[in-house]
Chain A
């Protein structure tokens, strides 16, 4: 059988579409081998990296991964910790020992640390094969998020919102003077002067919409200079 790519690099493929034929290609994330072909598992953009074929998904829910920083909402107070909704199909558990640096005495009222509908930025410490997720809110940059507002964006666009080494989010923070925390799960916490918050939200929504286009940083700085309009 001929060994060839059936689609071009950066083409959009649908699930079940054959991307390449022949055993010399290797299936990367989002693809699988069926007989001697590489087939797309999800809707996404093909990225050919040498012999490895990857699929960059353009949409979808957040899939929890260890060491991700996520924003969660407390949905339940448990015997020894809290249950968080982390904007994905699985909830996460925060154990008392990973919650705060101070000592929590036996029988303490846990709601004084985190109460239902409070938000916090945490780090995922463990994900089991059954998708039981553990998070910690103790450590550098991890904390309870007081006040402010939460907006949600597609988790797949989060890398563009953060930018290379945080360049994009730093730009927004500097220009608007808002505190911004971006979770890998697609939740963003913003707190600042009300009118500047609106600018920050509009900028983030624009980045989300134009994540696939190039020259985004220039447009974003232009937008911020214009006070949030394009």
Chain B
């Protein structure tokens, strides 16, 4: 966008008018599909309007870290596919992909969503590792919320594979055991333009916002993660208000699961 069109969009947002006519705290239509991949232990496809993200869970056995012999491992990786946005390039993950992966990781890890102690098979020797892979299929804005929602949906869908005598995963077999999920964290990104706040940005809106705050919220409205972005600073009052907005929006978002 050139500066004149950016100014035009900013002027509209400051009058509390979105480009697609939505109310500031409304999401676009959300759909969640479970079990879209047969080769992953758990998978999900999330669509928020035209934004589409898929997530897959891989479960693998490995030796636990020496400082945490009783715990399984959690890893999140995000990939921004070049097909999903003309600005995404192939190659090693850039700033945006790294940030997306870390933000998704943080809400799941810090909410203690997965009971990592239950992933342990034999202390100090063998434990399950959970790998979450998130791919953007189409980026029409708000990848953060879509990615976190997809990751959670895939976690809920995941089932353990069988275990061989040597303690390796047997992918031929699929048990009925689900992942030990204690909490279900979601993420809501709240954006600020002028004195206005809004959620679920379109691609164009993301380019003009002054600041954004991604808030991880569990089902009990507990805040489990924060990530701030954008050029402008936020006051404490702003942050309080944005968290309230996120908690409210998360309840609506949760209904899509």
Instruction: Give the complex CA separation of A194 and B193 in angstroms.
Output: 15
Q: Which of the candidate stretches A61-69, A132-140, A143-151 sits at the interface with the other chain?
A: A143-151
Residues of A within 8 A of B19 (CB): 149, 197-198, 201
Q: How far is the CB of A97 from the nearest CB of chain B, in Å?
A: 24
Chain A residue contacts of B12, Cβ below 8 A: 194, 197
Q: Which residues of B contact A150 (CB under 8 A)?
A: 5
Size bracket of the A interface: 10 to 19
Q: Hey, which chain B residues are within 8 Å of A197, CB to CB? A: 12, 17, 19
- Do the beta carbons of B21 and A147 come within 8 Å of each other? no
Cβ of A17 under 8 Å from chain B: no
Whether B4 and A198, one on each chain, are in contact in the complex, defined by CB atoms closer than 8 angstroms, is no
Residue of B nearest to A229 (CB): B21
Q: Given the known inter-chain contacts A149-B19, A202-B21, A228-B21, please indicate yes or no for A194 contacting B4, CB distance below 8 A.
A: no
User: Which of B4, B18, B204 touches A147 (beta carbons < 8 Å)?
Assistant: B4
CA of A97 to CA of B84, assembled, Å: 38
Once the chains are docked, how many angstroms separate the CA of A146 from the CA of B3?
10
A159 to chain B, nearest CB (A): 25
In the bound complex, CA of A107 to CA of B4 (Å): 26
Is A117 an interface residue, CB under 8 A from the partner?
yes
Q: Does A115 contact B (CB under 8 A)?
A: yes
Q: A194-B11, A197-B12 are in contact. Are A147 and B17 (CB under 8 A)?
A: no
Q: How large is the interface on B (under 10, 10 to 19, 20 to 34, 35 or more residues)?
A: 10 to 19
For the complex, is B175 an interface residue (Cβ under 8 Å from A)? Answer: no
Give chain B nearest CB distance to A25 CB in angstroms: 43
- Closest chain B CB from A197 CB (angstroms): 7
CB neighbours of A115 from chain B (8 A)? 2
Q: Chain A residues near B18 (CB, 8 Å)?
A: 198
Name A149's contact: one of B9, B15, B21 (CB within 8 Å): B9
Q: Nearest Cβ distance between residue B234 and chain A, in whole angstroms? A: 25
Instruction: Say yes or no for B256: interface residue by CB 8 A criterion.
Output: no
For the A-B complex with A197-B19, A198-B18, A201-B21 known, give 12 more contacts whose Cβ atoms are closer than 8 Å: A116-B2, A117-B1, A119-B5, A146-B4, A147-B4, A149-B5, A149-B8, A149-B19, A194-B17, A197-B12, A202-B21, A228-B21
- Give residues in A with beta carbon < 8 Å to B: 115-119, 146-150, 191, 194-195, 197-198, 201-202, 228
Interface pairs A-B: 6 shortest CB-CB: A194-B12, A194-B17, A198-B21, A147-B8, A147-B4, A117-B2
Q: What are 8 contact pairs spanning A and B, CB under 8 A?
A: A119-B5, A149-B9, A195-B17, A197-B12, A198-B18, A201-B19, A202-B21, A228-B21
